[in-house]
A and B are shown apart, each in its own frame.
Chain A
Amino acid sequence: MALVAAQSWAAAPEGWLVEQDCRFVTDFTQTRAFPDGVNYLKTAGKLYFDCDRGLIWSMESPIVSAQVFLLSGAMYYVDSTDTVSPLENPIQRKVGRLLSALLQGDRQQLEAEFRLLEGAEQLVLEPSVGQLRRALRRIVIREGSEAGGRIVLIEQADGQSLTVAIEPPRTLGEGQNSGGSCNKALGPVSQQSCLILQLASE
């Protein structure tokens, strides 16, 4: 594993994904590419992160729904009618846990399941344990087109790939209560998701 300069964005765990404060929101676009090389699916939405509670992956287009990943490990899906159900898809649960770990800078958790290959321009995570290797091939994190942004490429074992382009984050003030900042950041469509996050800490 090559050593990188301390100034490199990839050197420190907390710098891998975004340089962020405890609470931030950012826009993302996700492109799912299929092995046939012809088809792909695009989703746009917002990512809301609260270092004390968890994160919300809020999809706005072409459908409105959200995936909520709590730091406690619980995960939920909220559909467009605000119906809440436990998130059962194992790959979604795994990716959600990974995203939380990255955003928290939890190097220990990452190293328990991945080999971390740090380069000058990208960070590569390769699953090192059998169950994860069955689902994922590798995850590559690079700097985005805008400073502060990131591109996360998730290559699944079945040949699908998810490319998530994350815009530079917008920090939310510490002073604001979590529920208020969440609703404000994500809008009324995510009220239920924000409630889940808020209730999680209580």
Chain B
Amino acid sequence: MLTTEFIERLARRGIALLLLGLAIFVVLKGDEVGFETELLALAPTDNRSVAQQSAAVQLGADFQSRAVFVLSGLEAPLVEAARAELVANLSEIQGVQVVDDALLQRVLPPLLTDYRFHLLSPAQQQLLASGDLQAVLQNRLADRLGLGGTPQILPVAVDPMAWHSLTLVDTLLSLQTKERDVTVSAFSVILPSKAFDEGYQRQLLGLVEDITSGVERSFVGVSVLKGGLFFHAATAASAAKASVVMISVVSVIGVVLLLLAVFRSTLAVLIPVLSVALGIASGFVAAHIAFSGLHVMTLVFGASLIGVVVDYSLHFFVHERLAVKSGSRLQLYRALTLSLVTSVVAYGVLAGSGLAILAQVAVFSGVGLAAALVAVMAFCPLVSHQLSLNDGPIVGALERLIIGLRGVPIWLPAGVAFAGLIVTLSHYAAIVEEGNDPIQFVPKDTNQLANESRIDRQVARYEPGRFVFIEGQSVDEVYTRTRAFFEKLENDFDVDASQFFSLTRLVPAAASQKNNYQLQRVIYGADGVLEQFVGVTGLEVDTNELNQAYLKNEKQLLTPSEFVVGLEGIIPPLWFEVSDVTMNVVLVPQGADWEAIRSATEMVEGASMEYVIERSRAGLRDKKATALMLFFPVFAVVAAFLLAVYRRAKALLIALIPALSIACVTAFFALVAWPITLFHVMAMYLAIGLGLDYGIFVFEFRAHEYLAERAVVVSGLTSLLSFGLLGASGIPVVQGFGLTLLLANAINLLGALWLAAWLEKGEKMFRLSHST
């Protein structure tokens, strides 16, 4: 049989196991603990094809890992010298790879050497296609014997005529940065993968800042701009940390002062603080294990748990006198457990939001609350008998408020909730369409945003985050469709397709490569151009070996995926072969005609536009719409749950509390045209859990005047404090989350007190009717 003592004993064993588990985690994983700050981790998952998702993820990861540096000044030589120093210093940071033309020149030749017999520039193709061997020979002799000449990229023994070197020069020119102004010099760096681990990030940011400011000091007149998601993430992490510190410190101080004021005992502070600490530690460990790491934003939201977790201790202490009278805490524990279950159900909806960050919050908070409850059951009984409730002022105010609320008929809150629902539904389209901008995840760093704008204007050639995807079942099909896409752009829309970047221009299609091979037989055949060239110049090279190499490499065709792998990190991943789908990613030039591109993609099979920001926006919008619609089934489930537990229709009034708060808050935002984000909606789910908590306690203890209400008021005040602090954060999503909870929980509190008044009136009338 379940008894209070059994439950408390079980709880203490549970705590012992929990502490053991925490200790094991610290020993085994303590040094792995860190926080992730990647902003793309906050993006919603989507339902595109596997190839498109793979491309989006890899492009996103590549984009995230790059930082751009732009130097500008009045004198080109000074800018060049400053660039050389900046490159040298950044290269010394472990894990940082400078990606510039020098790297390209080192990496490209060895990559393409084995494929040289299949690659030709358009000018070379034209020269060979003319069939005029003498013209080819003259061309090479003039180049090698004249002033200047083609860079000897491949060794003389392999390429005596610098013929293949000429092809490579053409390829290099296509990939190299073309600076519009000699007084502006730019390059990018690839950051190590741990650049988004919060601890390393701070270090790296500090190093980069020192190096760039050092260069600006040494080269007066040269300024260095930095751009890239890394710097935004660093700002966001910094703001997140500041939020956590503020919320944690102020929240804890506030809660401690409130508890001291109500209970006038340090014991009353110790146990709640202990339950908060255990709750947060358990939530942290659980989320860390479930997700192999924790995003710093999870910690920000989790910090608000302080106000919720402390409720369990409050309810315990407030209901202790009843427990003493009845000799059992079973009713209290039942209420606490029901409260936990409804909260976990609400958090469970977060877990299914499709947003990784909210799934982390769900696990963090759900486990944290459960651990805190177990801690309360384990420790509170040890000290509660020593506490006395000094809530005179609260009870006085409470009594007056409840008397005032007695006059509020049931149809009023129900009617207001219904009116709120109607207002919300009438603004539904606007609610769904607005407030979906992914920029809400980062605090507004106007300096960094201005830098990004200047960088874009000065050096960006292609639109960041916007691409054209061209898919097909085979490499050849993708080449054909890519060609068709460019032809559509040029012929139907008068768009200069040569400004677009496509790997298909650097790596010829298989048929072209075979054609190039055939064209070069005039060079490598008997009495070919090569033999004649060596005869004239007297170079000491083994032409027989070179001719044999030509014959052996007939089948050595270069594929786009080999090219991308060979240049990994230097160019973004622009070619994907996933399952049986092949995809080419085309880069779009800055200032391109998007309508024309959109139309062209619609006319070419397999072509589609990809706009990362728009995709995120659409994802957030869809998730928000789904979350809004889920309110109805969630309330239905809650109603069924309440009926099943309490077996009376009156219990449905518990659900009216959060229904009222959600309807009012949503209607308010709609009426003042305040954009509702997905985070506002998720906060509403938490408010449902909180409202149900208050309602359950008020309903459970309705026979005991002002008992549950006291706990609800004090609990409500602590929650309002911590959510209010979230509302003061500099991060827009956190601010929205906190503000929503603040408003909704204030209405929850009022609703709970109304329910208490209504139930009390009902009880009095019942007693009156039975006494007569």
Binding site for B on A (CB under 8 A): 30, 32, 34-36, 38-39, 41, 43, 57, 59, 62-63, 65, 67, 77, 79-80, 88-89, 91-96, 99, 115, 128-131, 133-135, 154, 156-160, 162, 164
Contact = CB atoms under 8 A, between A and B. Distances in A.
B264 to A, nearest CB: 74
A67 B151 contact: no
7 closest A-B pairs by beta carbon, nearest first, are A92-B148, A128-B77, A95-B148, A158-B151, A91-B148, A43-B145, A34-B156
A201 B345 CA distance: 89
Contact of B149 (A32, A35, A39, A159): A32
B561 interface: no
Contacts of A41: 144-145, 537-539
Nearest to A63: B141
Contacts of B539: 39, 41
Contacts of B536: 62-63
A130 B82 CA distance: 12
A39 B540 contact: yes
B152 A129 contact: no
A57 B147 contact: yes
A35 B152 contact: yes
Contacts of B540: 38-39
B695 to A, nearest CB: 70
Contacts of A154: 148
A164 B146 CA distance: 11
A89 to B, nearest CB: 6
Given A41-B144, A63-B141, A89 B77 contact: no
Interface residues of B, number: 35
B46 interface: no
Nearest to B100: A130
Given A62-B537, A130-B185, A156 B146 contact: no
B185 A79 contact: no
Contact of A89 (B149, B185, B537): B149
B147 A115 contact: no
B147 A30 contact: yes
Contact of A96 (B147, B153, B157, B537): B147
B471 interface: no
A201 B340 CA distance: 94
A80 to B, nearest CB: 7
22 contacts: A38-B540, A39-B539, A41-B537, A41-B538, A43-B145, A57-B147, A59-B145, A65-B145, A67-B142, A79-B142, A80-B138, A89-B149, A91-B150, A91-B151, A95-B147, A134-B105, A135-B151, A156-B152, A158-B152, A158-B153, A159-B152, A162-B147
Contacts of A35: 152, 155-156
Nearest to A94: B148
B541 interface: yes
Interface in B127-143: 138, 141-143
Contact of B142 (A65, A93, A160): A65
Nearest to B157: A36
A164 B77 CA distance: 27
B138 A93 contact: no
A129 B80 contact: yes
B763 interface: no
B152 A93 contact: no
B151 A59 contact: no
Nearest to B541: A39
B445 interface: no
A162 B149 CA distance: 10
Contacts of A131: 182
A36 B151 contact: no
B101 interface: yes
Contacts of B83: 130
Given A63-B536, A65-B138, A91 B152 contact: no
A131 B176 CA distance: 10
Contacts of A59: 142, 145-146
A134 B76 CA distance: 15
Nearest to A80: B138
B202 to A, nearest CB: 33
Contacts of A92: 143, 146-149
Given A59-B146, A63-B142, A79-B138, A160 B151 contact: yes
A119 B105 CA distance: 33
Nearest to B83: A130
B132 to A, nearest CB: 10
Nearest to B173: A90
B554 interface: no
Given A38-B156, A160-B152, 19 more contacts: A30-B145, A32-B144, A36-B155, A41-B539, A43-B146, A57-B146, A65-B142, A91-B148, A92-B146, A94-B148, A95-B148, A128-B77, A130-B80, A130-B179, A131-B182, A133-B80, A134-B105, A158-B151, A159-B152
A38 B151 CA distance: 17
A115 B540 CA distance: 37
B749 to A, nearest CB: 66
Contact of B151 (A99, A129, A157): A157
A115 B80 CA distance: 12
Contacts of B149: 32, 89, 91-92, 160, 162
Contacts of B146: 43, 57, 59, 65, 67, 77, 92
B86 to A, nearest CB: 13
Nearest to B536: A62
B80 A128 contact: yes
Interface in B538-556: 538-541
A53 to B, nearest CB: 18
Nearest to A57: B147
A164 B536 CA distance: 20
Contacts of A157: 151
Contacts of A160: 149, 151-152
Nearest to A38: B540
Which interface residue of B151, B153, B157 has the most chain A CB atoms within 10 A?
A: B151
A56 to B, nearest CB: 11
B158 to A, nearest CB: 10
A43 B146 CA distance: 8
B152 A34 contact: yes
A65 B138 CA distance: 9
A65 B144 CA distance: 12
Nearest to A115: B77
A161 to B, nearest CB: 11
A129 B145 contact: no
Which interface residue of A89, A94, A134 has the most chain B CB atoms within 10 A?
A: A89
B234 to A, nearest CB: 29
A57 B145 CA distance: 11
